[in-house]
C-alpha cells in the first residue's frame, strides 16, 4: 500500500497555511511526518529542509489576524510520507 512512486516529491519548504506561498495542496493528500533532531513532531506549521528549521506555535498566543504566533527552531529536519 505504500506506493511512493505515485506520490509527489516533498518540497524543500512547506507550510500548512493555505495563504502561504509555500502551501502545496497536492502534497497534503497523504499524511506527512516531520522528524526534528531525531524526534517525531506533530505540531509543525512550516519547515525548510535545506536551511534546517521548523516553525511551531508559541503556546496559545495569537497574532492580530488570529493566527498562532510561530517560533523558529533550528536543527536537523527530515520530512517523509507516513
Pair 75, 52: CB distance under 8 Å: yes
| Structure confidence at residue 18 (pLDDT) | 92
Q: What is the mean pLDDT of the chain?
A: 90
Q: Which three cell numbers stand for residue 71?
A: 517560533
Return the exposure string of 18-47: e unless at least 16 CB atoms fall within 10 Å of the residue's CB, then b: eeeeeeeeebeeeebebebeeeeeeebbbb
Task: Please write the tens of the pLDDT for every residue from 66-77.
Answer: 999 999 999 999
| Structure confidence at residue 82 (pLDDT) | 87
Task: Please write the tens of the pLDDT for every residue from 24-54.
Answer: 998 988 899 999 999 999 999 999 999 999 9
DSSP string over 58-73: EEEEE-TTSPEEEEEE
d(Cα 67, Cα 19) in Å, to the nearest integer?
A: 11
Amino acid at each position: 500500500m505504500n506506493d511512493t512512486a505515485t506520490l509527489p516529491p516533498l518540497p524543500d519548504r512547506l507550510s500548512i497555511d493555505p495563504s502561504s506561498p509555500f502551501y502545496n495542496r497536492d502534497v497534503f493528500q497523504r499524511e506527512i511526518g516531520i522528524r526534528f533532531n531525531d524526534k517525531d513532531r506533530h505540531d509543525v506549521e512550516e519547515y525548510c529542509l535545506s536551511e534546517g528549521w521548523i516553525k511551531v506555535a508559541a503556546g496559545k498566543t495569537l497574532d492580530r489576524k488570529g493566527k498562532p504566533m510561530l517560533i523558529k527552531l533550528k536543527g536537523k529536519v527530515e520530512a517523509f510520507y507516513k
